[in-house]
Amino acid sequence: MVRNGRYVAGVDTSTQSCKVIIVDPMTGAVVRLGKASHPEGTEVDPQAWWDAFLLAADDAGGLEDVAALSVGGQQHGMVCLDASGEVIRPALLWNDTRSARAANDLIAEAGRGDPAEGAEWWADATGSVPVASLTVTKLRWLVDHEPDNAARIAAVCLPHDWLTWTIAGTGRLEDLVTDRSDASGTGYMERAAADDGPGRAYRRDILARALRRPESEVEGLVLPRILGPWESAGRGDAGRGWGEIVLGPGCGDNAGAALGVGLEPGEALLSLGTSGVVAAVSDRAVADPSGLVTGFSDATGYWLPLACTLNASRIIDAMARIVDAGYDEFDDLALSVGDSGGLVLVPYFEGERTPNLPDATAELRGMTLANADRAHVARAGVEGLLTLMRGALDAVRDLGVPLTRVRMVGGGARSTAVRRLAPEILGVDVEVPEPGEYVALGAARQAARTAGFDSPWVGTGSAS
């Protein structure tokens, strides 16, 4: 395959920022990195993503020596385009909750008024039970609250789809593409059963239900073509003079991170950021009517069952403030005692999603004169965090997904106490990779394989 450069680029267009890394595909070494901020808020004009990408690419030293590029990005966001390819309204992001009632309505409608029956229907059909983050619920909100905008929809895509399409620069709606990992988070991609192959089709009946239209009326709506894991999205430089860069299909951020750390079936990525995420690579699809685990696809041809908690590294932040300690001292305190002495932290500082307790609050239980000290409180904080994440891991395991190892990343993984106690509390081997831009690194690996680079780094952790 003809290439115009020796490097590949991985893009992470996240909620807060755009990061561009330039990678040597022979070694996986990051040779340059650039970053630019995105606007705050839960709805954003996609033009801001393009502007940030250009700034980040410049900050990374440009793309003139780049042969291939792929975009990983925030999932679920709703980008609606009219017949001329113009954005109809600012994109609603995954963390915009105005569609929570729409999610409940869609579940109830599928169950003919019975939410439990509806949740089972959705899990079987798509792998996920609707919540406010999913694109399908945002479309229902749009048709109910902005019917004039809904009537103008000619195409619906996701943030990474839109940015890839804009980089390609054709302007043709029919050139919109996506991948299984991101499409599986829309709420209207089919869930493939374990023996049905990878599953790469949209459920237009679900889309019609969301938009309150007859199915015949949504047949003409353009949805991004779902590419295979290493299928090219085309070439382009959007007139920027970069040369004809091979474009990978892109991926959702969790799938990108899993690819970035080289996750294999039987392994899970445990991310301890503001929230906690357990994403396990599985060789079969899953369906969880409880809604605790979403049945996403990964970026390599496998699946990515995922459980998310609202609380994670902020548990350590809160408990460190309570004992009036910096992070290093907090770790020393937690490890200075053999256990919490019966003190138990219920760590639902901002409600919780896994388990589904949105109105819950945090508690310290079992306090006695023997454990009422800074060390035992710190220990209870670490154990509370890891016990919460054990619950997320167990939710995935309860669906029959085997887990033999966890790769733990994120700010919370920097805690010595968390790393020390994690294997015993989580009940699995734990590895802590070096900190890195794993979403962008996964996108770069995808770009390298799409462009035909051949090296041990490109092939690691990738299904055929």
The closest alpha carbon to 445, from 265, 256, 162, belongs to: 256
Q: What is the pLDDT of residue 195?
A: 41
d(CA 338, CA 118): 47
Model confidence at 97, in pLDDT bands (50, 70, 90)? confident
Mean pLDDT in residue range 11-16: 93
- Tell which wins on pLDDT, 439 or 4: 439
* pLDDT tops 70 at residue 4: no
Is residue 111 a contact partner of residue 118, using CB atoms and an 8 Å limit? Answer: yes
Q: Check 253, 288, 298, 331 and give the catalytic one.
A: 253
Model confidence pLDDT, tens digit, residues 416-426: 999 999 999 99
| pTM assigned to the model | 0.89
Model confidence pLDDT, tens digit, residues 220-274: 999 999 999 999 999 877 667 788 899 999 999 999 999 999 999 999 999 998 8
d(CA 334, CA 346): 17
The CATH code that applies to domain 264-432 is 3.30.420.40
Model confidence pLDDT, tens digit, residues 26-50: 999 999 999 999 999 999 999 999 9
Model confidence at 359, in pLDDT bands (50, 70, 90)? confident
The angle, 0 to 180 degrees and rounded to 10, between the axes of the packed helices 253-260 and 438-450 is 80
d(CA 70, CA 55): 17
Q: What is the pLDDT of residue 199?
A: 54
Model confidence pLDDT, tens digit, residues 201-221: 899 999 999 999 999 999 999
Mean pLDDT in residue range 119-148: 95
* pLDDT tops 90 at residue 164: yes
Is residue 51 a contact partner of residue 108, using CB atoms and an 8 Å limit? Answer: no
Model confidence at 291, in pLDDT bands (50, 70, 90)? confident
Q: What is the pLDDT of residue 252?
A: 94
183: Cβ contacts below 8 Å, ≥ 6 apart: 158, 189, 200, 202, 224, 226, 297
The closest alpha carbon to 380, from 324, 319, 439, 427, belongs to: 319
3-state secondary structure of 361: coil
Q: What is the pLDDT of residue 241?
A: 77
Pull the structure tokens for residue 383: 């154990």
* pLDDT tops 90 at residue 459: no
391: Cβ contacts below 8 Å, ≥ 6 apart: 309, 354, 355
- Please list the residue range(s) of the chain that carry CATH number 3.30.420.40: 7-255+438-459, 264-432
157-171, 337-351, 446-460, range with the lowest pLDDT: 446-460
Q: How many CB atoms lie within 10 A of CB 329?
A: 14
Q: What is the pLDDT of residue 5?
A: 81
Is residue 182 a contact partner of residue 252, using CB atoms and an 8 Å limit? Answer: yes
Pull the structure tokens for residue 37: 């901020």
Model confidence pLDDT, tens digit, residues 315-325: 999 999 999 99
Q: What is the pLDDT of residue 238?
A: 64
Is 373 one of the catalytic residues? no
Mean pLDDT in residue range 402-430: 95
Is residue 384 a contact partner of residue 420, using CB atoms and an 8 Å limit? Answer: no
Is residue 346 a contact partner of residue 365, using CB atoms and an 8 Å limit? Answer: yes
Helix ranges, 220-284 (H): 253-260
- Kindly list the distances between the CA atom of residue 208 and the CA atoms of 142, 156, 239, in Å, as whole numbers in the listed order: 13, 13, 37
Q: DSSP state, 199?
A: -
Q: What is the pLDDT of residue 461?
A: 42
The CATH code that applies to domain 7-255+438-459 is 3.30.420.40
Is residue 139 a contact partner of residue 210, using CB atoms and an 8 Å limit? Answer: yes
Model confidence at 357, in pLDDT bands (50, 70, 90)? confident
